[in-house]
Amino acid sequence: MKKELLMASALVSTLGAASVAEAVTATTAGSLKIGQEWESPESGTDTNNTKDQSNFNISLSETTDGGVTISSSFEIVDEGTVAADDDNAIKLTFSDGSALELLNAGNAAGTHAVSIPGAGGEQGIAGTTSANAPTGLGFAAGATTLGVEWHSAADFMADGLKVSASFSTSDGAANTATAIMDSSWGLGATYVTDAGDTAITIGAGISGSEYGITGSATPTNDKGGVHIGISAVTGDLTVAVGFADGDSIVDDGTTAALASTQVDGEVIKAGIKYVTGDITLNVGMTDGEAKDSSTIGTAGTTVDGHTEVGASVSYAVASGVSAVIGYTDVERTDEGSATTNDGSAWYIGASMSF
């Protein structure tokens, strides 16, 4: 309780120092994506679907007389049903370039995951599976909503270096039969430098957490891990690769105790992007594997796998308007056996953004 009160006091005292204003400055951005997808599962019937997706983002910002910028944002997403994105931290940016995020701050390890090019479009193989091989570099970075994240200014202790640190704590809810995160921490760093005509970005992070659960069983490993990635940009060519290893606790929707599936996994991602005039070519691959166990306190023994390759071609029709053709091929294994969720998919569509 003491940690929660200290955090709340810091938030109130910081915001109380701001000048009273009638309205903050608001900016908007958004996009509309519409297209057709064709799925060809190795087991089952070929299907095709119309993908109609849109999102609208509003960013709010104001600067106090003391030079502190207070900002936040929210997003409305429509992907067949309307939903609101509530992960909205309050961000304080100081005059020296450092920043502090309060509430819904996230995990600093995930903040510094390097972006890996991948196939554009909205294609994929649908279906329910209990396989839990990871597909993203930040899969082991988690946080509760009651958290803070600090970001350094640029060139922190060395030219081209930025670092972040985060901590989150429990909201005080009682433990249940499902595993609930009680606290988390994270550290991350990004280093940018040049090697001749090539701009190089290196990102890395480490994270950890503690979970609470009723009963005698506890997770053999709480959520946490490490990741590292590197991206090299030479002219119109971008090449990137990343690796992550760690543990997670997920809800795969198939166990009696939801949210209590232990996952010990690792993933490698690589991608290439090339821009020539109005055309952008993307190629990406993901190779993840994991040992999962729905019994808390017992480590998994058999490997799940997820291998995915994809490519896309995008053409800039006009300012803010692009047409895209994308292809993805997916292979999955669950407990060492092939699943019915393998196959390939095509997508043809267009996007408009502002």
pLDDT at 353 over 90: yes
Nearest residue to 87 (alpha-carbon basis) of 73, 99, 77: 73
pLDDT level of residue 22 (50, 70, 90 thresholds): low
pLDDT level of residue 261 (50, 70, 90 thresholds) = confident
Q: Which CATH number is associated with domain 2-353?
A: 2.40.160.10
Residue 6 is predicted with a pLDDT of: 44
Give residue limits of the domains in the chain.
2-353
**What is the pLDDT averaged over residues 170-196?**
89
Say yes or no to pLDDT of 173 above 90. no
Would you state the structure tokens that stand for residue 41, as one six-digit string? Answer: 């599962």
pLDDT at 276 over 70: yes
| Residue 17, pLDDT score | 44
Q: What number is the average pLDDT over the span 252-271?
A: 76
Is a pLDDT exceeding 60 seen at residue 312?
Answer: yes
**Torsion, Cα of 106, 109, 280, 274 (10° steps):** 170
Predicted pLDDT of residue 2: 47
pTM (predicted TM-score): 0.84
| Model pLDDT, residue 43 | 79
Tokens standing for residue 55: 């999102």
Average pLDDT over residues 180-198: 94
pLDDT for 203 beyond 60: yes
* Mean residue pLDDT across the chain: 86
**Is the confidence at residue 265, as pLDDT, over 80?**
yes
Look up residue 215 and give its DSSP letter: S
Mean pLDDT in residue range 320-343: 88
165/176: higher pLDDT: 165
Span 91-104, average pLDDT: 94
Residue with tokens 């064709």: 38
Distance CA 127, CA 125 (A): 7
Return d(Cα 205, Cα 228) in angstroms, integer.
Answer: 7
Q: What's the distance, Cα to Cα, between the start and end of the chain in Å? A: 44
Query: What b/e readout covers 182-192, taking b as 16+ CB neighbours within 10 angstroms?
Result: bbbbbbbbbbb
For residue 191, the model assigns a pLDDT of 98
Which percentage of the chain shows pLDDT scores above 90?
A: 62
The average pLDDT across 298-308 equals 86
Residue 3 has pLDDT above 80, yes or no: no
Q: Which residue has the tokens 């010990």?
A: 264
What ranges in the chain are assigned the alpha helix state H? 2-16, 108-111
- Condensed to tens digits (0 to 9), the pLDDT of residues 111-169 reads 999 999 999 999 988 766 678 899 999 999 999 989 999 999 999 999 999 999 999 99
With CA atoms as reference, report the closest residue to 41 among 114, 115, 128, 111. 128
pLDDT: which is higher, 234 or 45: 234
Question: Do the Cβ atoms of 17 and 32 come closer than 8 Å?
Answer: no
